[in-house]
Structure 1
Amino acid sequence: MEQTTDFERSSRQLATVAQPLGSVTYSRAHTLVPTYECFNRCTYCNFRAEPGRSPWLGLDQVAQQLPILRQRGVGEVLVLSGEVAPGSPRRASWLRHILQVCELALEAGLLPHTNAGPLSRAEMAQLREVNVSMGLMVEQITPKLLETVHRHAPSKRPEVRLSQLIQAGELGIPFTTGLLLGLGETEADWVESLGAIATIHHRYGHIQEVILQPHSPGQRQLQPGMALDEPALVKAVQLAKDHLPPEIAIQIPPNLVSRDGLLACLAAGARDLGGLSPIDEVNPDYDHPTPESLREAIAPAGWQLQPRLPVYPQYDPWLPKPMQFLVQTWRTSLTNP
């Protein structure tokens, strides 16, 4: 007979005590990767390819794929790219390519959300015109990771990551950020990173979500690492609940936790499960669950799974007018499926 762990017992009790609970959101999404090449060499990465060794996604292929996604009910196009170095002569072409992918998504009636690493203010301003929201993980702001997992990752410097949140606020971009947990940092580091995010949000009011992503080992990373255990993730959710403004949604990736871990995180304060697509490009060894399977998993604990868009309603007025009309069409379709 299979034994039940203390964590599983406590998580079930916590979920039961909290009923009735309410809604948990997700976005029906599809990820497009303009290129996997990246000049950073983070030791835990399962995404990147060496610079010059990843063909760029063909625009003809994108144009053919997008109408099919629209027919399947996909609303969000996550444009997730590796980084061409800021000083590279190919940087301008890389940005133009990402812009064209976003333009094609909009023309197909889909909603782009771009995460392409740190950008200059001018680059971010250009992408603002073709995205309903954007994102960049802070990961952790402790500088000690620059001596270990980020030793060969220039764009992972804490000041670079935080400057992106500030630029997004100044430009009025609805933004998603988050922490990567289990890189060798401490709980005190989590609190410091959450506090930095909260401080910037208090100034600009633009951060929609904070993702709490546990390190989950994959086959392609440069150095082996241990997965963050689920009680630690639950603790991170509790800390985020304590240190972030209540209007910021706390997001956890449902493919990186067990069912009991998922329920414990929801009971602790997580309210969003992110974009669900067939493949998790960041963690390709961990398939995303379907909305149907998630709905079935969380319903017995009193949760209702609800679709959302990649831009939260309070930020609709921030968008350029043509995108506001498109977003409103999608909101109507979610209300009247």
Structure 2
Amino acid sequence: MSIHNTRLITYSPAYTIVPTYECFNRCTYCNFRTEPGKSPWMTLAAATSILQQLQSNNVCEILVLSGEVDPRSSRREDWFQRIYDLCALALTMGFLPHTNAGILSFAEMQKLKKVNVSMGLMLEQLTPALINTVHRHAPSKLPAVRLQQLEWAGELQIPFTTGLLLGIGETVDDCWETLTAISNIHQHYHHIQEVILQPHSPGNRGGVTPPLNDLPPFDPHQLPEVIAKAREILPPDITIQIPPNLVKDERWLLACIEAGARDLGGIGPKDEVNPDYPHLQEQALREILQPAGWELVPRLPVYPQFDDWLSGELKVGVKRWRNGEVNLVSDIWDVEVGDLNPAISN
């Protein structure tokens, strides 16, 4: 039975690892980035320590979420290798990686497919007008470049998540245009798992890099209407995801679900993109959903219909999670892990 016809709401038990907060984009609303060269890269030894602590916490997904190093930079190759090695490390320790690292080349996506069960990139909005406003200092936010990523993911058969950022200067018609573009690409490749509808929520990353302007927050009370329209535009096999920590009113969270949202994304200790908005944890979400007749259930970062797209090693790991047979051991993986072994032994 399709999840859209049940009273089930899914989420991913997840933990986010950030290779670096540095980013060559300067989106005016960003609560995440730091200046290039001012964010130490996560070491593999540090990641090993984190992942060891997570092995007994029922975490399945490791979201590798990174700022972007300029593709022309001499540091790009090292940055990409660090991301690859972090994904490979997560696999060796029994987790299922999902990477969102911004714009990648076709070759980079092809390589990361070997160590990720799924990947993602937010389209945000396709309207060219934003290039002159919130994205005027964000070279990788060109609409054509981001659409190309979705097409490459389809060509490479990478299970993919994308989405819209709402309230950054777009019009309602812009939203429908972006959703239609996602729908058209999916109907050609059939590779998009989820579309996230994320309301812009201003914040300040502890004073590290304050946002550059004062865009008002997107009114979450408008979200159910957007979800309902998105449900009309998108094919039924794409799940609509909303971040519950950005919809604070319980009644409106339930209204979003009634309108067609069926997934709450990765739930972990911290929302790295919106650190001022703590995640609602599993039990708190159940207390909201159950009285309204909704059942909250965990899911993997790859949907079952895409299991056959995975390589042998990834498929083995996913099968173990689906069957409840997870043994957090490293002897089943056959991946290239750069300088991984020295880091593990430290």
- How does the TM-score come out when normalised to structure 1? 0.92
Shift, 1:332, TM fit: 1.4
The answer to whether the Cα contact below 8 Å between 1:21 and 1:302 also exists between their aligned partners in 2 is no
Aligned match of 2:157 = 172
Mapped contact 1:198–1:244 kept (Cα < 8 A): yes
Q: Percentage identity across aligned positions? A: 59
Instruction: Find the counterpart in structure 2 of residue 330 from structure 1.
Output: 321
**C-alpha displacement of 1:284:** 0.3
Q: Secondary structure at the match of 2:323?
A: helix
Instruction: Quote the residue 2:103 is aligned against.
Output: 118
Deviations 1:200-252 (A, max 9, x none): 00000000000000000102312112111123211110111010000000000
How far is 1:68 from its partner?
A: 1.8
- Asked whether 1:150 is paired with 2:141, we answer no
Q: Which amino acid aligns with 1:246?
A: P
Asked whether 1:302 is paired with 2:293, we answer yes
* Correspondence 1:168-247 to 2 at 5 A: 168-219=153-204, 220-247=210-237
Q: What amino acid does structure 2 have at the position aligned with 1:108?
A: M
Equivalent in the alignment of 2:76: 91
By how many angstroms is 1:132 displaced? 0.3
For the aligned residues, what is the CA RMSD? 1.2
2:125 to 137, 140, 144: 140
How many Å separate the matches in 2 of 1:69 and 1:143? 42
Q: Deviations over 1:65-101 (max 9, x none)?
A: 2122121100000000000001001000000000000
Instruction: Tell whether the 8 Å contact from 1:112 to 1:132 is kept in structure 2 after alignment.
Output: yes
Report the 3-state secondary structure (helix = DSSP H, G, I; strand = E; otherwise coil) of the residue aligned with 2:136: coil
Find the aligned partners of 1:21 and 1:76 in 2 and give their Cα distance: 24
Asked whether the 8 Å contact 1:137–1:178 carries over to 2, the reply is yes
Look up the equivalent residue of 1:236 and give its one-letter code. Answer: V
CA distance in structure 2 between the partners assigned to 1:82 and 1:30 by the alignment: 17
User: Could you tell which deviates more after superposition, 115-124 or 64-73?
Assistant: 64-73
Please give the per-residue CA displacement for 1:97-129, whole angstroms capped at 9, x wherever unaligned: 000000100000000000000100000001000
1:277 aligned residue: 268
Which sits farther off after the overlay, 129-138 or 60-69? Answer: 60-69
How far apart in 2 are the matches of 1:260 and 1:228? 17
One-letter amino acid matched to 1:266 = I
Q: Give the partner amino acid of 2:293.
A: G
Q: Which amino acid aligns with 2:288?
A: A
Tell me how far apart the structure 1 counterparts of residues 113 and 222 of structure 2 sit (CA, whole Å): 35
Give the structure 2 partner of residue 15 of structure 1: none
Give structure 2 stretches of 5+ with no counterpart.
205-209, 327-346
Among residues 312, 315, 331, which one is paired with 2:303 in the alignment?
A: 312
Q: Deviations over 1:12-36 (max 9, x none)?
A: xxxxxxxx96000000000000000
Structure 2 match to 1:9: none
Describe the SS at the equivalent of 2:84: helix
SS state at 1:93 partner = helix
1:268 paired residue among 259, 264, 273? 259
1:251 is aligned to: 241
| Residue 288 (str. 1) matches residue 279 (str. 2) | yes
Matched pairs, number = 316
Counterparts of 1:126 and 1:21, CA distance in 2: 37
Q: Output the amino acid matched with 1:106.
A: L
Deviation at residue 305 of structure 1 after TM alignment: 0.2
How far residue 133 of structure 1 moved from its aligned partner, in angstroms, is: 0.2
Under a length normalisation based on structure 2, what TM-score does the superposition of the two structures give?
A: 0.90
Once residues 103 and 143 of structure 1 are traced to their aligned partners in structure 2, the CA distance between those partners, rounded to angstroms, is: 37
Instruction: Name the CA distance, whole Å, in 1 between partners of 2:325 and 2:103.
Output: 32
d(CA) in 2 for partners of 1:194, 1:334 = 38
Q: Give the deviation of 1:261 after TM superposition.
A: 1.4
Aligned-partner Cα distance in 2 for 1:118–1:333: 34
Q: Is the 8 A contact 1:307 1:334 kept in 2?
A: no
Q: CA deviation at 1:268?
A: 0.2
Q: Which residue in the other structure is 1:6 paired with? A: none
Which runs of 4 or more aligned residues in structure 1 lie more than 4 Å from their structure 2 counterparts after TM superposition?
Answer: none
Out of 121, 131, 135, the residue aligned to residue 116 of structure 2 is 131
Task: Find the aligned partners of 1:261 and 1:70 in 2 and give their Cα distance.
Answer: 34
